[in-house]
Structure 1
Amino acid sequence: MKNKISLLAAFLMLWGSFYTNGQAVAPFSLQQSIDYALQNRASLQATRNEQRIAKAQVGEIRAMGLPQINGSLDVGDNFIQQQSFLPAEFFQDPNNPNAPEPGTFVPVTFTPAYTGNATVTGSQLLFDGSYLIGLKAAKTYTELSRKTTERSEIEVAEQVSKAYYGVLVNRERFELLNQNLIRLDTLLYQTSIMFENGVAEKLDVDRLRVQLNNLKVEKQKTERLMAVSENLLKFQMGIDQSQAILLTDKLAEVEVDISKVRPQNFEYANRIEYSILETQRDLAELDLRNRKSGYLPKLYLNARYGYITASNEFSNITKTSNWLEFGYVGGQLQLPIFDGLRKHYQVQQGKIALENAKLGFKTLTQSIDLELEQASVELTNALDVLESRRENMALAEEIARVAKIKFQEGVGTNLEVVNAETDLREAQTNYYAAMYDTLIAKVNLDRATGTLLTK
C-alpha cells in the first residue's frame, strides 16, 4: 500500500510541475524527495530484486516437499550388441561333433537389436528433518532480506536529507550574497557621488570597488557550489540531472527535536541493525537444528510405471502390441549410520556460529550507545555554535550599518566600512556553516535513534 501511495505522490509531483524558461520544474519537499528516491534509486531497486529472489527461493525449497514426477521415452539401436560368456557345458550335444569343448566359454548375445522404454516415475518425500527446518530457515531468510532492504532505504533517506539540507543552506547563502551585493553596490554608488563632490577620496571608492569585486567572485563560487549540491541531490534521489527541481521546504521551517538528545527510554529494537542481528541469530539457530537433523532418518515413497519392448526388427517396436507393461511402488528409508564424524564437526561449527551471533548483540548495543552519545553531543555543540554564530552575525550587521552611517555623515572612515563589510561576510559564512553542521547533526541523531525513516 505504501509503495502505491509513494508512486502516486511521485506522479502528482511531476504532474504538478510548472514551467520556467520553457522547462518543467518539479517541486519537492524533503519528504517528497525521500519518497521519490525510495522509488527511483537504482541501488534500491536492485536491493528489492534481491528480496524478490529470496521469496522465490522459499518456493524453490517448498517444491522439494511436493511430488516429483518425471516421464521419459527411450528408443535405441544397439548397433553393436553386447555379448556375454556362458560355460561350454550349456551347449554340450553328444550328437554334435562341433560342440564346444568343456572348460571353455561361448559368447552369447542377449541384447536385442532394438529396445524401447517409456516410463513415468514419481517420488514423494514423507519425512526429512532438514526439509522442515529448511522451510523455516527460508522464511527467516526472506525476513532478513526485507530488513536489509529497509536498512538500504534508511541509508538513502539519510543521504537525501543531507543533500537536501545542503542545497537549502547554499541557496539561503546565495540569496544573502545577492542582498550584500545590492547593498555594497549602492554604497559604492553613493561614495562615488561623494567623491565627485569632493567629500570622499578616490581611495575610498577603490576600496569599495575591491570589496564589490571580491563579493562578485564569492557569489560566482557559491552559485557553482549550489549547482553541484543540486546535482548531488538529484543523484541521491535517482532523478535525471537535466530535470529542474524546486525545493519547497525552507530553512526556517526545519525543526530540531531536542527531546531526542540523550533519550531516556531508547529501545535498541528501533535500530534496523539490531533487528537484522536478531534475524541472523534466528538463522544461526535454525542452521544448528538443521545440522543436528542430519542424524534423523529420511523416508521416501517411490513409484514407477511404464512399458518396455525389444526386438531384432525395428518395425516390431513400433507396434503397441509388442510393448509390455510394468509397475512398481515402494518406500525407501535412509538411515545414517556412520559418516566419519562429519556431522559431529558440522554441529560443533554451528554451535560456535550461534555463539558468535549472540556475542554480536553486546558489541552492537555498545556501538549504538556510543553512536547515541556522539550524535547527542554533536547536535548539542552544533546548536550552541549556531546560536553564537547567529548573535555574531546580528552584531556584524549592526556594526556594518553603523559604520556606513558614520562614513556618510563624515564622522567615520571608509576603512571602517570596508572592515565591517569583511567581518559581516565572515560572520555570515560562519553562520551558514554552523547551520549546515546543525542540520547534519540532526540527521545523524535521527539515524542513531532509529527515527529517520518511519514506516
Structure 2
Amino acid sequence: MKKRLNLVIALLALWGTGYAQGQEPMRLSLQESINYALQHRPSLQATRNEQKIAKAQVGEIRAMGLPQIDAAVEVGNNFVQQKTLLDPSAFGGAPDELDPFIITPEQLASGQPITLTPAYSTPEPQPGDGGLQAITFVQPYTGSAAITGSQLLFDGSYLIGLKAAKTYTELSRKSTVQSEIEVAEQVSKAYYGVLVNGERMELLTQNLIRLDTLLFQTGVMFENGVAEKLDVDRLRVQLNNLKVERQKAERLMQLSENLLKFQLGLNQSQPILLTDKLAEVEVDMSKVNPQDFNYNNRIEYSLLETQRDLAELDLRNTKSGYLPKMYLNARYGYSGVGSTFSDVMDVRAGSNNTTNRNWFDFGYVGAQLQVPIFDGLRKHYQVQQGKLALENTKLGFESLRQSINLELAQASAEITNALDVLASQKENMALAEEIARVAKIKFQEGVGTNLEVVSAETDLREAQTNYYAAMYDALIAKVNLEKATGTLLTN
C-alpha cells in the first residue's frame, strides 16, 4: 500500500510540474523571473512604447524651429469668372470721332493741291453707355506653381517648449521605472507564493507517507488482536482527509504557478521550475525603521520633482506669450492664364519671351513681427492657473513625505510582527512534530491510545498550516519593506 501511494504521489507531482507533457521546464530564480518579466511583460512593453512616443514628441517640437518648406502646383477652371463694376468715365469717356470728308471731281480735275483739314466731334451718347459696367479680368483657366518657406527667428514659447519636452521625456522614463517596480513587486509575491505552496506540498506528501505507514502498522496490529477496528477507522479517516487536503493544495499550487506565469508574461503551457529555496531567503533588518531615509530613493518622489519642473516650465511658457514672435518668410513661383485648358498647360515663359508669355514668375522675401497687444486678459488668467498648479505640486511634497513615512513605519512593523509570528509558529510546528512522534511510539508500545495519535496528527497539520501561512506573510512583508525603502529593484 505504501509503494502504491508513493507511485501515485510521484505521478501527480510530475503532472503538476508539466513533465508529463514532455516539455522542458524553464528554470527560474527570483532575479531571473524579475528580469524575464521586465523584458516580456506586455504592459511594460506598452509603457516603453509610451516612452518612445515621448522621445518622438521632442523631435516634433524641435522641428517647429527648423525651416518649413512647401511646394504646390495648381491648375483650375474659373467656370464662373469673377467680375467687377467699372466706371468708363473715370478713364475720360468715349474718344471723339473723325468727321467724314468728301473730295469732289472738280478738285481732282483742277490739278491743284488738295488740302484736307480733319475735324472731330463728340459722338452722341447711346443707350447703355452711361453708368457702371461689369467687366472681368479673369481668364477662364489659371494655374500656379510656387515654393514657400518660413523660418522661426524668435519665439519664447518655443525655447521653453524644448526644455519642457526634455523634462516630459524624463517624466516618461520615470513612469517606466515605476511600472518596472510594480512588476517586480508582483513577480516577487507570486514567486514566493509558489515557493511556499511547493514546500507545503512536499510536507503534505511526507505526512501522507507517514500516516499511510501508521495505518498499515495499525492494520497489522488489528489483525494480531493488539488494536481495535476503531483505531484503524480513525486513521483511515485521517488519511482520507489528508488526501483531500493535498488535492486542494495541488490545485492551489497550479493556480499559483499560473499566476506567476501571468506576471512573467509567460505562456501558460510552459512548465517552470523555481531554483530558489525558502531557506536561502534573508531579510535585511537594517532596512527596518531606517533613521536617515533618502526620499529620492522612492520613484514616486522623483516623479513629483519632475512634475514640479513641468509645472514651472508651463508657467514660464504662459508668460512668454507676452513676448513678440518673429518669422522669416519667402516664396517664389509662377502663375499662368489661358482661355482653354490646353492653352494654360502650354507653358510659355522665360525672361527672353516678351511676345506670347502666358506664365509669369513672382518672388517675395520678408520678415514678420507679431506683437501681442491685448487678448482680453486671457494670458493673465492662464498665469494665475499656472501659479496655483505649481503651488499644488509643491504642496504634494509634504503630503508624499508623510505618506512615505507612514508606509515605512507600517512596513517595518509588518515585517517585525511577521518574523515574530514565524518564529513562534516554527517552534509550535516542531513541538507538534515531537508530540505526534511520541504519541505514535506510545500507541505502538501499547501505553497510548489511538485517539492521542489522531489528535496529535490533527494538531500537527494545523501547526504546519499556520507555519506556512506565517512564512508567506513574512515574505510578503519583506517585499513590502523593500518597496517602501525603494530598494526592490536594486537588490
- Please say whether Structure 1 and Structure 2 have the same fold, judged by a TM-score greater than 0.5: yes
For 1:419-438, list aligned pairs within 5 A: 419-438=455-474
Aligned position for 1:110 = 137
Shift of 1:116: 1.5
Give the deviation of 1:409 after TM superposition.
0.5
Whole-Å separation in 2 of the counterparts to 1:260 and 1:252: 20
Pairing partner for 1:376 from 404, 412, 419: 412
Residue 300 (structure 1) aligns with: 327
The equivalent of 2:210 in structure 1 is 183
1:173 aligns with 2:209: no
Percent same amino acid at aligned positions? Answer: 76
1:394-429 CA deviation, whole Å, 9 max, x = no partner?
Answer: 000000000001111111111000000000000000
Aligned partner letter, 1:38: L
Cα separation, 1, equivalents of 2:215 and 2:343: 113
Shift of 1:90: 4.1
Q: Is the 8 A contact 1:130 1:294 kept in 2?
A: yes
Residue 101 of structure 1, CA deviation: 4.6
Kept after mapping to 1: 8 A contact 2:234/2:454: yes
Residue of structure 2 in register with 1:218 after alignment: 245
Displacement after TM superposition at 1:87 (Å): 1.8
What whole-Å deviation, never above 9, does each CA across 1:18-75 have from its counterpart, x for those lacking one? 9765212110101111111111111111111111110100000000000000011111
1:326 to 335, 353, 362: 362
Query: Which amino acid is the alignment partner of residue 424 of structure 2?
Result: S
Name the amino acid aligned to 1:179.
Q
- Do 1:41 and 1:238's aligned partners in 2 also have CA atoms closer than 8 Å? yes
Residue aligning to 2:390: 354
**Which residue number in structure 1 is paired with residue 42 of structure 2?**
42
**Structural RMSD (CA):** 1.4
Which blocks of at least 5 consecutive residues in structure 2 are unaligned?
Answer: 1-17, 95-121, 350-356
- 1:328 corresponds to which letter in structure 2? Y
User: Residue 320 of structure 1 aligns to which amino acid in structure 2?
Assistant: R
8 A Cα contact 1:88 1:100, kept in partner: no
The 3-state SS of whatever aligns with 1:76 is strand
Structure 1 residue 97, shift from structure 2 partner: 3.9
Amino acid at match of 1:24: E
Moved more, 93-102 or 319-328: 93-102
Instruction: Supply the distance in 2 between the matched residues of 1:292 and 1:121 (Cα, whole angstroms).
Output: 31
Q: Distance in 1 between matches of 2:256 and 2:400?
A: 34
Match for residue 135 of structure 1 among 162, 186, 191: 162
Equivalence for 2:297? 270
Matched, 1:256 2:283: yes
Confirm or deny: 8 A CA contact 1:114 1:313 kept in the other structure: yes
Query: Match of 1:87?
Result: 87
**Matched-pair contact (CA < 8 Å) for 2:262–2:268:** yes
1:122 aligned residue (149, 162, 187) = 149
Task: Give the CA deviation at 1:78.
Answer: 1.1
Shift of 1:112: 1.2
> For residues 23 and 340 of structure 1, what CA distance do their matches in structure 2 show?
72
Deviates more, 1:304-313 or 1:380-389: 304-313
Give the Å deviation of 1:335: 0.2
SS in 1 for 2:373: coil
The normalised TM-score by structure 1 is 0.94
- Please give the alpha-carbon distance, in whole angstroms, between the structure 2 residues aligned to 1:19 and 1:210: 32
Distance 1:361 1:250 in 2: 40
* Partner residue, 1:401: 437
After TM superposition, the structure 1 stretch with the greater mean CA deviation from structure 2, 318-327 or 70-79, is 318-327
Q: Specify the alignment match of 2:13 in structure 1.
A: none
**Cα distance per residue 1:203-238 (max 9 Å; x no partner):** 111110110000000000000000000000000000
Counterpart pick for 1:98 among 126, 136, 148 = 126
Alpha-carbon separation, structure 2, partners of 1:448 and 1:308: 71
DSSP 3-state at the match of 2:24: strand
Structure 2 vs 1, CA of residues 170 and 394 (structure 1 numbering), >3 Å: closer, same or farther? same
**Mean Cα displacement is larger for which, 142-151 or 319-328?**
319-328
| Structure 1 residue 105, shift from structure 2 partner | 1.2
| Superposed CA offset, 1:222-267 (max 9, x none) | 0000000000000000000000010010111111111110112210
Q: CA deviation at 1:82?
A: 1.2
Give 1:312 shift. Answer: 2.4
Partner of 1:8: none
Structure 2 Cα separation of the partners of residues 159 and 320 of structure 1: 75
Measure how far apart 1:310 and its partner are.
1.8
Q: Which residue of 2 aligns with 1:449?
A: 485
Q: Aligned to 2:375, what secondary structure does the other structure show?
A: coil
Structure 2 SS opposite 1:65: coil
Conserved in 1, the CA contact under 8 Å of 2:201 and 2:250? yes
| Partner residue, 1:287 | 314
Unaligned runs of 5+ in 1: 1-17
Measured after TM superposition, the shift of residue 89 of structure 1 is 1.8
Count of residue correspondences: 437
Mapped to 1, the partners of 2:437 and 2:338 lie a distance apart of 114
Q: Distance in 2 between matches of 1:181 and 1:98?
A: 127
* Secondary structure at 1:121 match in 2: strand
Shift of the 193–119 alpha-carbon distance from structure 1 to 2, 3 Å rule, reads: same
- Structure 1 segments (4+ residues) deviating >6 Å: none
Write the distance in 2 (CA, Å) between the matches of 1:180 and 1:225.
18
Amino acid in structure 1 at the alignment position of 2:277: K
1:4 match = none
Partner Cα distance (1:232, 1:89) in 2 = 94
Deviations 1:270-311 (A, max 9, x none): 000000000000000000000000000000000011111223
Cα deviation, residue 313, structure 1 = 4.1
User: Residue 19 of structure 2 contacts residue 271 of structure 2 at CA under 8 Å; is this kept in 1?
Assistant: no
1:365 corresponds to: 401
Shift of 1:99: 6.3
Query: What code does the residue aligned with 2:348 have?
Result: T
Q: Give the letter for the 1:217 counterpart.
A: V
- 1:224 is matched by which residue type in structure 2? R
Cα distance in 1, alignment partners of residues 124 and 417 from structure 2:
117
Matches within 5 A, 1:329-348: 329-348=365-384
Q: Work out whether residues 44 and 149 of structure 1, in 8 Å CA contact, stay in contact via their aligned partners in 2.
A: yes
